[in-house]
Amino acid sequence: MAGSRSERSPMRGSRLLVVLVAAVSALVIAGCSSDGYPGDLNGMTRQPQTEVGNVLLPNENAKSSNATGSLKGDGDGLMLVYFGFTNCPDVCPTTLADLRLALEDIDPEQRDRIQVGMVTVDPQRDNAEVLNGYLGFFFPEEQFSSFITNDKAKLAEVEKIFGASHRIGKKQPDGGYDVDHSALLYAVDSDGVVEVEWPFGTTAEDMRSDIEQLLDRRADQSSS
């Protein structure tokens, strides 16, 4: 799905529209596809689905069960990956709070198969202590991974795999700065396939329903 590289100038309005319509259509088709997707997922699924491969990131949460720093789910479980930063007052706390709500409503047996991993796009301020404290507020300590890397190229590589991005803003006189970032939550299975992704604003209820469906599906596949 490479864009037209020869086009140096920004897309004109009508072409932009065509691309968007095409993208949305692809998503709609993906959603309607009966290719092993019996239910309707509330979130979005790319066509083709993103595969994260064997990429690893340093996991600064020593209490986590994810020792290798993998971004994949474990066994028949899922890894829910989020790109954000802890100084975020509105977007990140909202998404993580909704995710926490969603997980609280899930069967304990299913909940055990879920891992949450946050990749900080602001490693300058988000060190291990800060990020662990932050994620520990939302999730049990064995359940989350604090992905921190000061290697900008590495961070960019991982972002690109997911289609995520961020932009550090101008430094203010007091040293503070804003960070813009894409705000999706990605569900990755143990094969490294992004099964579904939830845009900002997805309700806890919708996330919970998708998670349960994906886990059920996985359990069915394992037992057959």
Partner 1 sequence: MNLKKPALILTAIVCCGALLAACGSDDLANEGVAVSDPWTRITAPTATTGAVYMDLESADGDRLVSASVPSGVAGKVEVHETVTNGESMDSGEMGDATEGDAMEGDAMEGGMEGDAMMGMREMKDGLELPAGEEISLEPGSYHVMLLELQAPIVEGDTIPVTLMFEKAGEVQVDAEARDAES
**Residues contributing to the site for partner 1 (CB under 8 A):** 1-3, 11, 16, 19-20, 22-24, 26-27, 44, 46, 86-91, 93-94, 97-98, 100-101, 121, 129-131, 133-138, 152, 155-156, 159-160, 163-170, 176, 178-184, 197, 199-201, 204
Tell me whether residue 12 or residue 221 sits nearer to partner 1 (CB atom): 12
**Residue position matching structure tokens 């202590």:** 129
Residues paired with residue 88 on neighbouring β-strands, in sequence order = none
Q: Which two tokens stand for residue 135?
A: 């994620």
Tell me whether residue 67 or residue 153 sits nearer to partner 1 (CB atom): 153
* Shortest Å distance, C-beta 224 to partner 1: 32
Q: Which two tokens stand for residue 37?
A: 């997707």
* Shortest Å distance, C-beta 19 to partner 1: 6
- Residue 124 C-beta-side C-alpha neighbours within 13 Å: 11
Q: Give the C-alpha separation, 187 to 145, whole Å.
A: 14
Tell me whether residue 197 or residue 210 sits nearer to partner 1 (CB atom): 197
Tell me whether residue 168 or residue 219 sits nearer to partner 1 (CB atom): 168
Handedness of CA 185, 187, 192, 195 (dihedral sign): negative
Rg (CA), the chain: 18
